[in-house]
Amino acid sequence: MTMSDYILTTASTLMCPHGGQVQLSTSNSQANIQGSPALLLSDRHSVSGCPFQIPIGTGTKPQPCTTVQWLVGASQTKVGGVPVLLQSSVGLCLSAEQIPQGPPSVVQVQQVVKGS
């Protein structure tokens, strides 16, 4: 049985694990929810304002989050054959050197349309 969840759009609010703001953009020009494009699994987002974090065991070099890469999107709901992102989708914040920093958190999402 597939669980449904709200679809993320460019109007959603996401943060990196350290409180940086995720800048949402998408290549999707086909599906809008409340006037904002739905986000896709293939989208990659930038992060601004992440405080410099020093990962344990990597020395003293700061590694702030700079991008979000998505790993798991909707299994059935797609736009142009690409899965949309759901509130429960799995993503990973990465430093400029592609060092994983943890998952982004969804702070706000539209409450009208769900996908699965």
Q: What is the pLDDT of residues 58-107, one digit of tens each?
A: 566 778 999 999 999 999 999 999 999 999 999 999 999 999 999 999 99
pLDDT of residue 3: 73
**Distance of alpha carbon 26 from alpha carbon 41, whole angstroms:** 10
**pLDDT in the model for residue 59:** 63
What number does CATH give the domain 5-115?
2.60.200
The residue ranking higher by pLDDT, 55 or 96, is 96
For residue 112, the number of C-alpha atoms closer than 13 Å in the C-beta half-sphere is 10
Q: Strand ranges (DSSP E) for the chain?
A: 5-6, 13-15, 21-23, 32-33, 36-37, 44-48, 65-72, 78-79, 82-83, 90-95, 100-102, 105-108, 114-115
Per the prediction, the chain carries an average pLDDT of 93
Maximum C-alpha span of the chain? 46
Domain ranges of the chain: 5-115
Say how far apart CA 14 and CA 87 lie, in whole Å: 10
Instruction: Kindly indicate the confidence band of residue 2, based on its pLDDT and cuts at 50, 70 and 90.
Output: low
**Cβ atoms of residues 48 and 101 within 8 Å:** no
Confidence (pTM): 0.90
